[in-house]
Amino acid sequence: MRIVQSARSPQPRPGGEFFARPADPTQRRYEALRAYLFERRSAAEVAAAFGYTVETLNSIVRDFRAGRREFFVSPRPGPKRAPAKERAHTRIVELRAAGHSIDEIALVLTREGMSLNRTGIAEVIAEAGFGRLWRRPEALRGAPRREQLPRTGVIDFERWPERVQTKHAGLLLCIPDLVALDLPAIVAAAGYPGTTVIPAISSILSLLALKLANIRRTSHVEDVATDHGAALFAGLSSLPKTTALTSYSYKLSHEGSVGGTV
């Protein structure tokens, strides 16, 4: 497509060909409107010059008069770099090479003070050339553990230190309400199972602790398992490990969970 200049039109200066041969649809619409409305050229001439049908040109004019005038976009300068992604790049590659999922990597980055959203992590993984990570069994999932979890058991208060540090002391504020509900009686009436190592009430409190601490998956229990406040809430030396928590629900009966005794 080429715009034919009249004999009275001066020759364009260098660079003027951009306006003579508008390739961008928005620019072409602008130039066609200008030729028809401002230069008062006929609809047939303008339509032929810009590659429209007369009907399409009339539609463009109608939209323009109705307020559709988005021709020029003001550029918004944005960051040319992604510092957070660059800072976490090496760690993301390291964790992916070890077989960890995007959710697990996000958890580790947050834990290590390099929080990054799933999109940023996925971009780093793609740029590094890693393929799809096939879904693993539940018991095999979870972020790398920071330390070996202690053996779980009922709290021995004779060995319990007088002062401890915890990030989840807020869990203990729920205890008065649980006492008021007589949670141990509810658990007993529902027939929830326990073991010689972990009583039923402690298993239920461990799962409740994860919910209250906003831990979405039991596979991430190691993030709070060694916290003294979470352990004290459940009455244990530490919260049970992933396998114990994920398999606990299989031992429950539907009637005991939703029946009239609860």
* Cβ proximity of 111 and 143 under 8 Å: yes
Compute the chain's Rg from CA coordinates.
34
Distances (CA, A) of 250 to 66, 152, 262: 64, 20, 18
The domain locations on the chain are 1-72, 83-140, 169-258
pTM assigned to the model: 0.41
* Cβ proximity of 228 and 124 under 8 Å: no
For 193-217, what is each residue's pLDDT tens digit?
A: 887 788 888 888 888 888 888 877 7
Amino acid in the structure at residue 194: G
Helix-then-strand count for the chain, H and E: 13, 0
* Cβ proximity of 235 and 205 under 8 Å: yes
Amino acid in the structure at residue 200: A
Residue 9: per-residue pLDDT: 58
Query: Which of 262, 243, 129, 143 is CA-nearest to residue 192?
Result: 262
> What is the spatial distance between Cα 205 and Cα 217, in angstroms, rounded to a whole number?
15
E strand map for the chain? none
Amino acid in the structure at residue 151: R
Residue 261: per-residue pLDDT: 42
Distant-in-sequence, close-in-space partners of 12: CB < 8 Å, separation ≥ 6:
19, 20
Residue 250: per-residue pLDDT: 64
In a structure prediction context, what are the per-residue pLDDT tens digits for the chain, which is 262 residues long?
555 554 455 676 777 777 777 777 888 888 889 889 999 999 999 999 888 899 889 988 988 888 877 776 655 666 567 888 888 999 998 888 877 888 888 888 888 888 888 888 988 888 887 766 655 555 555 555 544 455 677 877 777 777 778 888 888 888 899 999 899 898 888 888 887 788 888 888 888 888 888 877 776 776 677 788 888 888 888 888 777 777 776 666 655 554 444 3
The residue count for the chain = 262
